[in-house]
Amino acid sequence: DSTATITVETSLPFTSHNVDPPSRSVETSPMELMTFFKDMTEMRRMEIAADSLYKAKLIRGFCHLYDGQEAVAVGMEAAITKKDCIITAYRDHCIFLGRGGTLVESFAELMGRRDGCSRGKGGSMHFYKKESGFYGGHGIVGAQVPLGIGLAFAQKYKKEDYVTFAMYGDGAANQGQLFEALNMAALWDLPAILVCENNHYGMGTAEWRAAKSPAYYKRGDYVPGLRVDGMDVFAVKQACAFAKQHALKNGPIILEMDTYRYHGHSMSDPGSTYRTRDEISGVRQERDPVERIRSLILAHNIATEAELKDIEKENRKVVDEAIAKAKESPMPDPSELFTNVYVKGFGVEAYGADRKELRATLP
């Protein structure tokens, strides 16, 4: 029975600040376990493929990969609905996928093609899917947090029972505007969850070199917080479900997700000058979010090792097919240079580099 209840323990107890932590027992089912496995391995495959596309020069500019952190995106989605909002920074591919975005839209956007989720005009850092409650995709470190608090403000203004998850890294956790926004969220009891994805390095700066107190779940002072094992999808799911209820009743809460990125900060960073290879391989061996689920599935005899390998093989195929399809998508039409500047352009003229040669009437 794929819907039978299985109870699992989170890897670690939650550490809490100003709030009673939720239970370590989490209910799941064979179906959910298999979905988690499928979703996380698909995300990982997508990011590995993006790495190759970048090295093949098919992806330009900045590209920040999420492999290692998959349990945060997947666990969070398991606890909420698409009416709840998510906003994040530039490491956004897998958040988009979690919100129901497709592989083709992702790869097409990464390669700047017209079938990209932002029609090729956003790039790696600017994925959006408003109809599923995903508000980007932001390139200025920390700026997405007040924007997310604004989404929560709007949810409360419209008297809806939805919440917003505003995600940021340990680097952004020191930004002043984060505390400004948190203050207002707490003053006005906004249904906001601040999700600090602590992967322990803001670019190449270790958390202890940037933060006097790297206990980010406590940094809200009067705002409650939880420290969560972000490599354990069940801990993430439990914490997010708890946080949603808390936020609807009491206002903001901080979830610090203890996680890890296997890749460097971005594609120009080998990720090995400021941390040791032993540290990375140690996390892979002991805390990998996919391996944790694999062992649970095997321990409960839900699928065999071979069946799980088949899922991974299938992911590889699905990802390759999506890349092929994305490659077939043409570059944006040159006329797209002048679309979406405004919703209402008043028919005003906008200029290209040589205004005598290139100008357009804004729609």
Partner 1 sequence: KQMMVREALNSALDEEMAADPRIFLMGEEVGEYQGAYKVSKGLLHKYGPDRVVDTPITEAGFTGLATGAAYYGLRPVLEFMTFNFAMQAIDHLINSAAKTHYMSGGNISVPIVFRGPNGAALGVGAQHSQCYAPWYGSVPGLKVVAPYSSEDARGLLKAAIRDPDPVVFLENELLYGESFRVSEEVLDPNFTLPIGKAKIEKEGTDVTITAFSRMVGYALKAAETLAKEDINAEVINIRSIRPLDRSSINASVRKTNRLVTVEEGFPQHGVGAEICASVVEEIFEYLDAPVERITGADVPMPYAANLERMALPQVEDIVRAAKRVCYKSISMAAAV
The residues binding partner 1 (CB under 8 A) are: 85, 87, 116-122, 126, 128-130, 135-140, 143, 145-151, 153-155, 157-158, 176-177, 179-181, 183-184, 187, 339-344, 346, 348-350, 355
The CB-of-246 to partner 1 minimum distance in angstroms stands at: 20
Q: Which is nearer to partner 1, 175 or 205 (CB)?
A: 175
The CB-of-128 to partner 1 minimum distance in angstroms stands at: 4
Neighbours of 58 (CB within 10 A): 17
Euclidean distance between CA atoms 187 and 185, whole angstroms: 6
Q: Which is nearer to partner 1, 33 or 173 (CB)?
A: 173
The CB-of-23 to partner 1 minimum distance in angstroms stands at: 33
The CB-of-306 to partner 1 minimum distance in angstroms stands at: 41
Euclidean distance between CA atoms 51 and 181, whole angstroms: 34
Is residue 235 within 8 A of residue 303, CB to CB? The reply is no
The pair of structure tokens assigned to 18 is: 């100003």
Q: Which is nearer to partner 1, 104 or 181 (CB)?
A: 181
- Cα distances (Å, whole numbers) of residue 87 to 135, 235, 286, 290, 300: 5, 21, 30, 24, 35
CA 264, 268, 270, 273 torsion: positive or negative?
Answer: negative
Q: Which is nearer to partner 1, 157 or 208 (CB)?
A: 157
The CB-of-66 to partner 1 minimum distance in angstroms stands at: 20
Residue 316 in 3-state DSSP? helix
DSSP 36: H
The residue type found at 51 is D
Q: Which is nearer to partner 1, 35 or 339 (CB)?
A: 339
